[in-house]
Amino acid sequence: MRTVMCLFLITFLTFTLIPMAFAAAIPIETSIRQQSLDMAKEKSEVEQAINVSKTDPKEFLVNKKDVLGREELVDIKNPNELEYSDAYKVVSANRNIIQALLDGTNLPAVLHTAPYHWEVPVLFKEEATKKPVASFTVAKSDNGWQVVEIGGYLSPEQSYFSSASEGLITFFKENSLKDANSFIHFRIPSLHTDFLYVAADEQEYFVPLIHNRDELHGLKNNTIYTRNELVSAIGPTIKRNLDNPNPAPSGYPSVERNKDHLFLVAFLSMAFIIIAFYGYRKFITKRCAP
């Protein structure tokens, strides 16, 4: 009887644990494609927002190119010269995500439940080539999914890179990341940086996409960092932002740091105004005296 029970237990564990072990090793391409618009429940709504927007992104970019001041738009004369690339999901880092990142707790769990939007790269069709020139954002509001921003925070090249699943797959495989349990693109606005996050079986990796710079906070664009390396670089900054309920964007002077300086400037300005006023009155009095 004991032998039968042992055989049953071994068989049960074999059929239970082996599939689980294989399930954990998801190919990187599968994890990346799971984040595509084709897999999203709001696919039709987002596509409608892209194609039937009150403000046509193509027309806006052409008509407002002088105001936007982007050199990528200079040669574009007609909205028909533009086309859209694939939309990609961007998770907005909230307090729960920042706290989990700092605490070393389960990051995928909070990333998968955080608010997100979709970004769409815009390409310029020039003869046989297509050049990224901008992007726009589709987010959910009270009236459903709609275009809420045109221009983009990432550079056009970074945005296009984020949308091209085949390019992402190649990038990670060339860096020896062939399997991933999770892939998520998220943004920390206060750091002026997006991150491509990959959770593998034994490690977590982050690729910073820095807004309009090649390097920031000791991180370099399109470079793979482990979680420990990332937190060592940005931990003090994001912790400071968590502690400050109204932080200024990272990279800009905060009100708290410059309070004394602002007070001094205000005091000197007021003193100058008072002195100038009395000096002017004295001058007028002398001039008008008989």
Provide the pLDDT for residue 187: 97
Amino acid at 58: K
For Cα atoms 145, 146, 149, give the angle at the middle one, nearest 5 degrees: 130
Helix H segments across the chain?
A: 2-24, 28-33, 43-51, 57-63, 65-68, 95-103, 107-111, 156-163, 165-174, 227-243, 259-288
> Is the pLDDT score of 148 beyond 50?
yes
Could you give the percent of the chain with pLDDT greater than 70? 75
Q: Is the pLDDT of residue 290 over 60?
A: no
Q: How much is the pLDDT for 281? A: 52
User: For 207-243, what is each residue's pLDDT tens digit?
Assistant: 999 998 999 999 999 999 999 999 999 999 999 888 7
Point out which residues pair with 216 in neighbouring strands.
Answer: 219
Residue labelled with tokens 């049960």? 12
1 has pLDDT over 70: no
Q: What are phi and psi of 242, to 5 degrees?
A: -65, -40
How many Å separate Cα 5 from the centre of its chain? 54
Say if residue 256's pLDDT is above 50. no
Q: Is residue 191 scored above 80 in pLDDT?
A: yes
Residue 283 has pLDDT above 50, yes or no: no
Choice between 3 and 43, residue whose per-residue pLDDT is larger: 43
List pLDDT tens digits, range 193-215: 999 999 998 899 999 999 989 99
Task: Say what the pLDDT of residue 32 is.
Answer: 96
Nearest 5 degrees, angle CA 13-CA 17-CA 21? Answer: 160
Q: What does pLDDT average to over the chain? A: 82
pLDDT above 90: percentage of residues in the chain: 68
| Neighbour count for residue 86 (Cβ, 10 Å) | 15
pTM of the model: 0.76
Q: How many other C-beta atoms are found inside a 10 Å radius of the C-beta of residue 252?
A: 9
